[in-house]
Amino acid sequence: MKKPWAGRFAQKTSGAVESFTESVSFDRKLWKHDIAGSIAHAKMLAKQRIITAKESAAIIAGLSATAEAISSGKFRFSPELEDIHMNIESSLTERIGEPGRKLHTARSRNDQVALDLRLYLREQMQDIISLIRKLQKMFMVTAERHQDTVMPGYTHLQRAQPVLLAHHLLAYVEMFQRDRERFRDCMQRTDTCPLGSCALAGTSLPTDRAYTAKLLGFSKISGNSIDAVSDRDFALEFLSCAAIAMMHLSRLAEELILWSTEEFRFLEISDRFTTGSSIMPQKKNPDVAELMRGKTGRVYGNLMALLTLMKGLPLAYNRDMQEDKLPVFDSAETLTGCLSVLLEMLKEVKFNTARLRETAAGGYATATDIAEYLVRKGIPFRSAHEITGRIVLYCISRNIPLTGLSLQELRTFSAALTEDILEILDPVSSVKARSSFGGTSPSEVKRQLRHYRNLLK
């Protein structure tokens, strides 16, 4: 098969080289974006009278027919033509003849692929932002139902202080909000049209790059043709956003795994989202959450792969950059898949509220409340901390909870402890007292819920 660049070469390309250099086996994912870019380019060429209106119409009709063939599965992708761009252009020329040979006027595969990748990521990020918003709303619904459910909060995976389950769930809403904002910011830098930069130097033909950008829905065009074809910052930024989002999903997955164990018994994952053991009949394994945790490593790897790929490349385009697509495709599909299955799984998670309340009372979780009580009585915090520590040690040595202490016993540690201290030792009272902005008190949780409802409208 004749190469589009065959004029310069006296020998045919080695079959081994064709197999090694082809990318159509994976960049075919860009066919819709490639055709959209080509249609816009054909319209611009006609507007600028670089080709005739009749030729432009023939090109657009031919591209539409090629799109239909690909969509219906009738299109034959040829590795000999290297990539999605040449496969589509070759098909177009076969369909409409000489006008098809004019489509590549005033552009290069360098700016063409940069365009396709931007169009692809713009589409993917819109979907991801939408999925994250749905996930936030699901957490909101669950938090609404658990405004009165007290649970132990943790630091170092040790019981720390009582919190509301709603407050814990809203931490993920806040986390995912940052993810949405990151992807929206990334969209702004992806929203730049490189088409018309050609190989690296622009063109001598009277093109209208602003018109092409407008047809493709871009708000701006690239300002430097060398940078336009060699820039993959937008892809790196996307991979970074995806890696951070996957880290958040992995943390959530870890909690789902831990909390569903017999040791915690805080929640139960539906049978529909768990699997069994091939040898142990009693097992119910949280495989979906475990795979989500595991796939995070792949997404991290994709970011490192592209960073490493780009770090030593001289300007402008280099063939190394063909390797940018697999990491981008994999991260987009992995993140979208994880968000989609998580949305389904969380609908059927059931919290064990009795177990959460019971556990919140253990582990001397209201010790900080004693220290803050003493502070309110005028005792310096460091002194209050030491007094409380001795109270906890006393309880540990006698294997009793803080609520098992009598007022008389408490007063042996400090005369500042009076009868009202007994009420403070209750986890529910502890939670109600934590009314600082962003805290876990019912009033603050209600305020947070109102805030996120407005944010997610």
CATH code of the domain containing 289? 1.20.200.10
Domain containing 77: what range? 6-105
Select from 325, 358, 391 the last residue of a domain. 358
Q: Are residues 12 and 66 in the same domain?
A: yes
Q: Are residues 93 and 193 in the same domain?
A: no
Q: Are residues 125 and 53 in the same domain?
A: no
Q: Please state, in angstroms and rounded to a whole number, the distance separating the CA atoms of residues 231 and 223.
A: 12
Per-residue pLDDT reduced to its tens digit, 100-129: 999 999 999 999 999 999 999 999 999 999
Cα 195 versus chain centre, distance: 28
Q: Are residues 353 and 251 in the same domain?
A: yes
241 belongs to a structural domain = yes
Q: Are residues 156 and 290 in the same domain?
A: yes
What is 258-281 written as a DSSP string?
HHTSTTT-SEE--GGG-B--SS-T
pLDDT given for residue 13 in this prediction: 73
Q: What is the mean pLDDT of the chain?
A: 95
Q: Are residues 240 and 367 in the same domain?
A: no
What backbone phi and psi angles, to 5 degrees, belong to 82? 75, -60
Residue owning tokens 């252009």: 89
Select from 358, 388, 409 the last residue of a domain. 358
Residues 84-88 have a mean pLDDT of 96
165 belongs to a structural domain = yes
pLDDT given for residue 218 in this prediction: 98
Query: Would you tell me how many other CB atoms lie within 10 Å of the CB of residue 32?
Result: 15
Question: Which residues touch 113 (CB under 8 Å, ≥6 apart)?
Answer: 27, 30, 83, 85, 321
What backbone phi and psi angles, to 5 degrees, belong to 220? -150, 165
Enumerate the β-bridge partners of residue 163: 151
Q: Are residues 257 and 405 in the same domain?
A: no
Per-residue pLDDT reduced to its tens digit, 185-197: 999 999 999 999 9
Cα 70 versus chain centre, distance: 29
CB 431 within 8 A of CB 147: no
What is 321-386 written as a DSSP string?
GGGGHHHHHHHHHHHHHHHHHHHHHHTT-EE-HHHHHHHHTSTTTTHHHHHHHHHHTT--HHHHHH
Q: What is the largest CA-CA distance in the chain?
A: 101
1 belongs to a structural domain = no
What the block records as the tokens of 433 is 């007292």
Q: Are residues 229 and 338 in the same domain?
A: yes
Per-residue pLDDT reduced to its tens digit, 95-107: 999 999 999 999 9
Residue owning tokens 């009738």: 74
Enumerate the β-bridge partners of residue 384: none
11 has pLDDT over 90: no
69 has pLDDT over 80: yes
212 belongs to a structural domain = no
181 belongs to a structural domain = yes
246 belongs to a structural domain = yes
What the block records as the tokens of 10 is 């006296």
Question: Which residues touch 94 (CB under 8 Å, ≥6 apart)?
Answer: 100
Q: Are residues 175 and 61 in the same domain?
A: no
Using alpha carbons, list the distances in angstroms from residue 383 to 364, 370, 372, 378, 380: 18, 12, 11, 10, 5
Q: Which of 198, 208, 206 is nearest to 110 (CA)?
A: 198
Q: Are residues 198 and 117 in the same domain?
A: yes
Q: Which of 343, 289, 353 is nearest to 137 (CA)?
A: 343
pLDDT given for residue 5 in this prediction: 58
Enumerate the β-bridge partners of residue 267: 351
Q: Are residues 350 and 406 in the same domain?
A: no
Q: What is the CATH number of the domain that holds 69?
A: 1.10.275.10
8 has pLDDT over 80: no
19 has pLDDT over 90: no
10 has pLDDT over 80: no
- Residues with a known catalytic role: 156, 277
At 229, the amino acid letter reads V
Select from 105, 129, 160 the last residue of a domain. 105
228 has pLDDT over 90: yes
71 belongs to a structural domain = yes
Q: Are residues 381 and 406 in the same domain?
A: yes
10 Å CB burial of residue 394 (0-12, 13-18, 19+) is middle
Give the chain's domain count.
3
269 belongs to a structural domain = yes
Q: Please state, in angstroms and rounded to a whole number, the distance separating the CA atoms of residues 442 and 439.
A: 9
Q: Please state, in angstroms and rounded to a whole number, the distance separating the CA atoms of residues 230 and 417.
A: 69
